[in-house]
Amino acid sequence: GTLTAALDVPASTLSFHLKELMHANLVSQERDGRSLIYRPAIEQMDELLNYLSAHCCQGVARKATTGRNRKSC
């Protein structure tokens, strides 16, 4: 509902990606009545970013880009 509208993505696509993020322990989920509440797992995200910075980008911090201008580390 709210998240699909804010991100302008189909519910099935969002559900798939949230499930994968939960399996990677990057997002947690809890039920609130009929709603599902998703929260980022900040510690795990920090660990992932630190690992990627050290091992993928050779310790070089780079500004995030979006869309077609993306370049890999």
What domains does the chain contain, in order, with CATH numbers? 2-69 (1.10.10.10)
What are the φ/ψ torsions at residue 29 (nearest 5 degrees)? -135, 140
**Alpha-carbon gap, residue 50 to 45, rounded angstroms:** 9
**pTM higher than 0.75, yes or no?**
no
Task: Give the pLDDT of the chain (73 residues) as one tens digit per residue.
Answer: 788 999 999 999 999 999 999 999 999 999 999 999 999 999 999 999 998 888 887 766 666 666 555 555 5
Residues listed for the chain? 73
Beta bridge partners of 29: 38
